[in-house]
């Protein structure tokens, strides 16, 4: 399960399979409520990013899991704090081919654009209180 997702000792094929199983669970919200996403899944995925080096298949699985997590987070600002900082290192993964790199870059750009749009919406809403510059 999750133990193998972020384990250095599991074989690559096993880690890839574990990430696919995690993605399947993430696709079923009752199986992964928000508190599980925040306290269990995100830390395991952060650890997974550190183990990607030289393994593009694992990088793509990690990207898919983070993408599913980002879609399920209760607030867009969590993407800025909890997802994007973990995905950025994948942009520097030398084992990715051009198509895989474009997939990572595309997801990072889309998540960032979505989070920025949500934040601008918050700032533009009448209920947002702007500090006065003096």
For residue 93, what pLDDT is reported?
A: 95
CB 28 within 8 A of CB 66: no
Instruction: Look up the pTM and report it.
Output: 0.82
Helix, strand, or coil (residue 74):
coil
Measure the N-to-C terminal CA separation of the chain; round to a whole number of Å: 55
Q: What is the dihedral of CA 92, 97, 98, 103, to 10 degrees?
A: -70
For residue 134, what pLDDT is reported?
A: 53
**How would DSSP label each residue in 22-75?**
HHHHHTSGGGS-HHHIIIIIHHHHHHHHHT-TT-HHHHHHHHHHHHHHHHH-SS
Please tell me the distance from the alpha carbon of residue 123 to that of residue 55, in angstroms, as a whole number: 40
Please tell me the distance from the alpha carbon of residue 8 to that of residue 6, in angstroms, as a whole number: 7
Which stretches of the chain score pLDDT less than 50? none
């Amino acid at each position: 399960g999750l133990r193998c997702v972020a384990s250095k000792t599991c074989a690559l094929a096993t880690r890839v399979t574990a990430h696919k199983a995690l993605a399947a669970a993430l696709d079923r919200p009752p199986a992964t409520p928000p508190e599980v996403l925040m306290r269990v899944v995100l830390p395991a995925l952060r650890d997974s990013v550190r183990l990607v080096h030289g393994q593009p298949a694992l990088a793509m699985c990690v990207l898919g899991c983070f993408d599913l997590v980002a879609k399920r987070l209760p607030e867009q600002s969590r993407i800025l704090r909890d997802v994007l900082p973990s995905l950025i290192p994948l942009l520097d993964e030398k084992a990715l081919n051009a198509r895989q790199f474009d997939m990572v870059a595309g997801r990072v750009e889309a998540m960032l654009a979505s989070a920025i749009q949500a934040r601008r919406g918050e700032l533009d809403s009448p209920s947002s209180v702007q500090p006065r510059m003096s």
